[in-house]
Structures are given as structure tokens and as C-alpha cells.
Amino acid sequence: MNPLFDQFFQSQYRDRWSSLLASLRAKENQVARPNLFSQDASSLQWVLNPQFSEIPRGEDQLLQYYIMDPASILAALALQVQSGDVVLDMCAAPGGKTLILAEALRTSGELIANEMSEARRERLKKVMQQYIPREIRERFWVTGKDGGKFALTHKEKFDRILVDAPCSGERHLLENKTELEGWTESRTKKLGHRQYALMTAALLAVKPGGRIVYSTCSISPYENDDVIRTLQKKKKGFRALDVQDELSDAVKENSILFEVFEKRELTEYGLHFLPDHSGAGPIYLSVLERE
């Protein structure tokens, strides 16, 4: 264990840190979410911690399930995409949240799924090909821009923007000895600066009245509430929303998602799902509306 890492998060989470650390090191709880584009979607059930040897395909040859963290699903649902919306998924790979946004646009609307990393972008393309019918994919585009460029090229273009920002991802960091040994507090601060830049771009790219969801899989305050706090200090023309009622309505018929949602933790600007309490995550989300 990197002592700098341990000391920093001990100072943030105090008596809770030992249980949170243990939950981050434990096997991640995941859910197999039915692919709503599949012809068999109506007969498929949600599966907690699936044991597929491989993900089954339907008669249409689309994969029938996407496996992901249930709290990540809540972050995508919080964007409240409506049919006909023009949507940007600014940091889209690997593609699980992108699929949820695409499903909401099934009949009409446009989606740009952006990923700057070429390797991750190829994975994103493959996911879209495996899960979305060709005729529907014609309304969706995969791009490889720096997310900050959308402020220049797509000003006030989008009804909805998801900024699932690159982050420290401490659960995965703990699995990588080399990366963990190189962790410093300055590194998570620098990531916070980058995340802030992505959010300033999103504020310019979203339409007045449009919605932005900011999310991370980090437990670092520098990458979560602090990003929104800095945004409030330096930028105007937006407000943070309380979307708890919306999310409750969206998941009340799904026992797996509802159980996770009920164990949400409120922060100053959003919600945090931490694995020692909710059994999912870590996922932080904050929802902003441009005025």
C-alpha cells in the first residue's frame, strides 16, 4: 500500500476508511442489463453478478446483455434523455452508458459518442456494433475529439450532455501495483483540473434549458464535489438539480437498481454511491441545468 494514498483517504473518510478500502478490494458487484435493442428484450431478466461463459446473442445476432456496475446505470438515467434529443456522451468508452442513452433515442434524435483514446474508441465502436441495429446506428456518430473542443465546434448544440470524466478510479488503481505506487495527491488534483475543463466546455455546448450529468468512479473529493464547487465559483448561468425523485420514479420497478438507489449518499452537489454502503460503485454524479 502506498502510504500517501492510505493517509490521504484516511484523512477524508476517517473511521470509515478501513471498511471502504476493504470493499474497494473486494469483487465488484455487477448486473447484466438486458439490451433493449434486442428482439428478445421483453423476455430477458436482469441478472445480478452474472456467470455467463459468454454473453448470449439473439436471433438478430445482437448481444442480449451488457454487464456493468448498477450505480453507473443510475448516472446515465439521471440525464433523462428524451426521444428527439440531440445528445453528447463526451467521454463515452467503454460504452455501457452510451447504450442507455441510445435506447432512450430509439425512435428519433441524435447521439455523438466521443472518445479521445483511439484504443478505447475502437472498443466503443465494437460495443455499438454488437448491441445496436445498423438502421438505428445511422443516427449515431463516434468521434475522437478532445472533449474541450466541443465548446468551440458545437456551441449550444446539445439538449443533453454526459460527462463521465476520466478519473482516478481507485477501485482499479488498487489492482495495479505500479500505478498505486505512483499515486500522489497532486495527481488527483490535476485530474480535477482536467475534469473542470471538460465541464466548462459542456456548459458552452449545451443548449439553454439543457442538462449535463457529471460523473466519476472516484472517491476523491478533488474529482467530485470540488469540481462542481469550482464551477459555481467561476461560471454563471447554471444550477445544480436535485434529481432524487426523478431517479426514484425511473427505478422503482427494478429491485436491483432501487436497492442501490435507496443507499445513496447525499453530497453538497450530488449523489455518491459507495460500495461499503450501497454494494455498488464507487459512482459520483451531479446534475446541472443551464439557465
Q: Any idea which residue has 431517479 for its cell?
A: 247
Cβ atoms of residues 271 and 264 within 8 Å: yes
Q: Residue 16 contacts by C-beta under 8 Å, 6 or more apart in sequence?
A: 276
Q: Provide the b/e sequence for 156-184 (b: ≥16 CB within 10 Å).
A: ebbbbbbbbbbbbbbbebbeeeeeeeebe
Centre a 10 Å sphere on the Cβ of residue 258 and count the other Cβ atoms it contains: 16
Query: Rg of the chain over CA atoms, in angstroms?
Result: 18
The active-site residue out of 21, 75, 217, 287 is 217
Round to whole Å and give the CA distance between 161 and 138: 20
Residue 57 phi, psi dihedral angles, 5° rounding: -110, 150
Residues 34, 35, 38, 39: is their CA dihedral positive or negative?
Answer: positive
CB atoms < 10 A from the CB of 249, how many?
9
Element (H, E) at 173: helix 170-173
CB 198 within 8 A of CB 112: no
Residue with cell 459468454: 54
Q: Is 167 a catalytic residue?
A: no
Task: State how far the alpha carbon of 79 is from the alpha carbons of 61, 119, 235, 251, 291, in Å.
Answer: 29, 26, 21, 14, 16
Active-site residue list:
217
